[in-house]
Amino acid sequence: MLELEGDTVAAVLVEPIVGSNGILVPPDEYLPRLKEIAHDHGALLICDEVMAGFGRTGEWFGCDVFDVEPDIMTMAKGLTGAYQPLGATIVTSEIAEHFEENMFCHGHTYAGHPAAVAAGNAAIDTYREENLIERASEVGEYLGERIEDLAEKHPSVGDTRGVGLFRGIELTKHPEKRVPFGTREDKISPGSTVVDEVSARAKEHGTYVANMINTLIIAPPLTITEDEIDEAIDAIDAALEVSDAAMDSVSTT
């Protein structure tokens, strides 16, 4: 696309680790190479850190997993821990310096709201004081191991992936063919799918699990303990019996 469009492309915008579409973790070389390609064509690299930022991956930001510094970062969610609605855009010094002498006409009615900004500062202080970023990395390894235990036990688990406390369990009704229970059309359609029923069963056992299309999104608070992870895994274990039972008969014989 960059070769076709030439210098008309201002930037390439990506999630370092794709969130809502299934917790998709790229190969280690993907993001560094993407930045290189963008810069070769005069474009900036923008990383959307709304979901992956602030410790979710066991690093401060998702791009840190790949040792890449983007030109622009967008963020929200973990910026205040959701105690106040706050989003932010951060740019490199080079970009910031450009606007010292060039007008950047941008504003919002509630931009820089003091209560929201105070919550953001307090959240960042808490991340540091309680070592939550490092802790997310350590506890995240344990979460990954427990999810692998589920994968070995349940034939309807087609794939597991993720880093830190940002994990996904993709379901399948036919493991040899990797046939999904849910499709993209289900994302905006009424009614419930097998994946919805799995989440509902987990909730009945005391654990809330978000799901999107065909993937269970496992993203617990950074303060979670190993005992709490075990409790959650037990709930998901029971819930996966729903998808196991709904598999095509040929895939379970």
Query: Which residues, 6 or more positions from 151, have their beta carbon under 8 angstroms from its beta carbon?
Result: 157, 160, 169
Domain ranges in the chain are 2-129, 135-252
The burial class, CB within 10 Å (0-12 / 13-18 / 19+), for 63 is: buried
C-alpha distance from residue 218 to each of 20, 24, 26, 82, 246 (Å): 11, 13, 18, 18, 21
Model pTM?
0.89
> Could you give the CA distance from residue 224 to residue 209 in angstroms, rounded to a whole number?
14
Residue-wise pLDDT tens digits, 163-191: 999 999 999 998 788 899 988 887 777 87
> Could you give the CA distance from residue 113 to residue 173 in angstroms, rounded to a whole number?
48
Query: H-type helices in 154-225, by residue range?
Result: 194-204
Tallying the residues shown for the chain, one arrives at 253
Q: What is the pLDDT of residue 182?
A: 80
Sheet hosting strand 166-171, strand order edge to edge: 157-163, 166-171, 215-218, 210-212
- With cut-offs at 50, 70 and 90, classify the pLDDT of residue 249: low
Per the listing, tokens 């030109």 go with 71
Pick the CATH number of 135-252 from 3.30.360.10, 3.90.1150.10, 3.60.110.10, 3.30.565.10: 3.90.1150.10
How crowded is residue 235: how many other Cβ atoms within 10 Å of its Cβ? 19
Query: Which residues, 6 or more positions from 36, have their beta carbon under 8 angstroms from its beta carbon?
Result: none
* Per-residue DSSP letter, 18: B
> Could you give the CA distance from residue 218 to residue 210 in angstroms, rounded to a whole number?
7
The answer to whether 165 and 153 are in contact (CB under 8 A) is no
SS3 of residue 179 by DSSP: strand
- With cut-offs at 50, 70 and 90, classify the pLDDT of residue 253: very low
The answer to whether 9 and 41 are in contact (CB under 8 A) is yes
Pick the CATH number of 2-129 from 3.40.50.150, 2.60.40.10, 3.40.640.10, 3.20.10.10: 3.40.640.10
Per the listing, tokens 């929201």 go with 116
Phi and psi dihedrals of 152, rounded to 5? -70, -25
Residue-wise pLDDT tens digits, 97-127: 999 999 988 878 888 899 999 999 999 999 9
